[in-house]
Amino acid sequence: MVSRARDWLRQSLRDYEHARRSLEMGDYEWACFASHQAAEKAVKALYQSLGIEVWGHSVSRLLENLPEDFKPPIELLDGAKELDRHYIPSRYPNFHPEGAPLDYYTRADAERAVKYSGEIIGFIRNKVV
């Protein structure tokens, strides 16, 4: 299997920059979703680097299932769990009882999501070969 680890990591960094720009523009729901995507792709980059094929979108589960030598500290897992909560509600109006996702996301939500995503990327970045 050809490793696409660097491609996954490059896209992760691009998604992270999109999250930061969305936060600056006040598109908080998109900042949260892009933060999730950036973290997910970073973790998948690490799996690729290790030669392990992985499926799924839960950043916390992907991190929890890493080989023992690569497991993150609990604080990163907690941040990943918050990012997981943005995967669907940040995009779909029918997730909420009424209104659109943009009605439910705040600057504080987006700031936390960008922060957690950056921390996960930082943890992963030097481990991808």
At 41-66, the pLDDT tens digits run: 999 999 999 999 999 999 999 999 99
Burial class for 55, CB neighbours closer than 10 Å (0-12, 13-18, 19+)? exposed
Provide the pLDDT confidence category of residue 3 given band limits of 50, 70 and 90.
confident
pLDDT reported for residue 1? 62
What are the residues whose beta carbons fall under 8 Å from the beta carbon of 39, sequence distance 6 or more?
12, 59, 80, 83, 116, 117, 120, 121
pLDDT at residue number 97: 95
pTM over cut 0.75: yes
Q: Averaged over 97-106, what is the pLDDT?
A: 97
Question: Domain 5-125's class?
Answer: mainly alpha
